[in-house]
Amino acid sequence: MSTNILDMETLALDEEERALVIIDQTKLPNRAEYLHLKTQGEIWTAIRELQVRGAPAIGDAAAIGIYLAALEIDTDDYDEFARRFHATADYLNSSRPTAVNLSWALNRMEAVVKNAAGKSIPEIRSLLRNEALRIKQEDIDICKKIGEHALTLVKPGYGLLTHCNAGQLATAKYGTATAVMYLGHQKGYNFKIYADETRPLLQGARLTAYELSAAGMDVTLICDNMASTVMKNGWIDAVFVGCDRVAANGDVANKIGTSGVAILAKHYGIPFYVCAPSSTIDMNTPTGKDIHIEQRAPKEVTDMWYKERMAPKDVNVYNPAFDVTDHELITAIVTEEGVVSDLEHLTSNKI
């Protein structure tokens, strides 16, 4: 894999097909370091520690990861293989709770095994390999379609705001919220893009600002608390964000801070678009209140930027990694199937 950000792949099966290769997102933008993950433990940790992150990328990584784990299940017995495969799926699924793409991808891999009863283990492994690579390729195709649909919502010269990183680094290619930016850039749309830094882990500063500027786009980094000002200044024509789970009533979980941006957008009359593959819609979760929001370590808030601690020792910390944006605040959800604005009736929309 190349070290040029524009050519690089977020994740891939290595040439020998014995490791999942990821760019370590905790090291960006200063260093492009690749990790070769071989064991299920290494893959679990890479997801948990955000070395690979972003809802679709987590799903892709888990699919390739569980294929690699299947190579290590040394039995010829189908029942034994299926039992150990299921245990591995449960284990990988425990790495992060909020993005439904993780369980969605693992369920697809599990379905391959369930439907292959009677086949030899080498045959099943080969089917698993194909499914994992299909999931990754579908991610690329879907993101491109999301971008094409989102292009119908913008005009050349628009000011666009985004939060967190729903970019190429969060998917296999194009990103979800950034697909419109990549495709528009190819058409010479000259967007003026504002990237929220995204406290506490700075995915906006470290990843979004990095990948969009590397692609030659006009991107301006702002602190999260500046979003209101740039909107008030009239610089933002539309907000595009990604998401980790859409509940059946259209409520959306995305990176902490997203709901605040949506409230601001509503106040200033700016359209607020959520971009996601339709696999992110979870009809088994009735409303946003039912979404499991990941809580992360206090250290992410207290020790982020300085070698020395930047908060008093033993201070209480609340560090939810995601929040829920109520569907009333969302202008439309853009999936590979199209633009859906009737969010209260997601079930009756064909998406």
Neighbours of 29 (CB within 10 A): 15
Half-sphere exposure of 183 (CA within 13 A, CB side): 22
Q: In what order do the strands lie in the sheet with 272-275?
A: 218-222, 192-196, 159-162, 238-241, 272-275, 332-335, 338-340
Q: How far, in Å, CA of 234 to CA of 256, rounded? A: 24
**Candidate list 60, 139, 196, 244, residue with the active-site label:** 244
Question: In terms of CB distance, is 93 or 112 closer to ligand MRU?
Answer: 93
Q: Cβ 93 to ligand MRU, closest distance in Å?
A: 15
Instruction: Determine, following the binding rule CB under 6 A, whether residue 53 of this chain makes contact with ligand MRU.
Output: yes
Question: Contact letters (x/-) for ligand MRU, 201-240, by CB under 6 A?
Answer: --x-------------------------------------
CA dihedral 62, 241, 246, 105 (to 10 degrees): -10
Using the structure block, give the residue that is written with the tokens 């693992």.
106
Does position 171 interact with ligand MRU (CB under 6 A)? The reply is yes
Is 203 assigned to a binding site?
Answer: yes
Q: Which residues pair with 194 in a beta bridge?
A: 161, 220
- Count of residues of this chain found to bind ligand MRU when the rule CB under 6 A is applied: 19
- Cβ proximity of 97 and 294 under 8 Å: yes
54 a known binding residue? yes
| 103 lies in the site for ligand MRU, by CB under 6 A | no
Asked if 200 touches ligand MRU (CB under 6 A), the answer is no
Site track for ligand MRU across 109-138, x = CB under 6 A:
------------------------------
Q: Indicate if 244 belongs to the active site.
A: yes
Of residues 256-315, those binding ligand MRU (CB under 6 A): none
DSSP secondary-structure letter at 207? I
For residue 238, report the phi and psi dihedrals to the nearest 5 degrees. Answer: -160, 150
* 243 part of the interface to ligand MRU, by CB under 6 A: yes
**For residues 56 and 159, which CB has a smaller minimum distance to ligand MRU in the complex?**
56
Query: Which among 279, 116, 331 is positioned nearest to 340, based on CA atoms?
Result: 331
Active site residues: 244
Residues that constitute the known binding site for substrate: 53-55, 96, 203, 254-255
Contacts with ligand MRU by CB under 6 A lie at 50, 53-56, 99, 164, 166, 170-171, 175-176, 203, 242-244, 254-255, 321
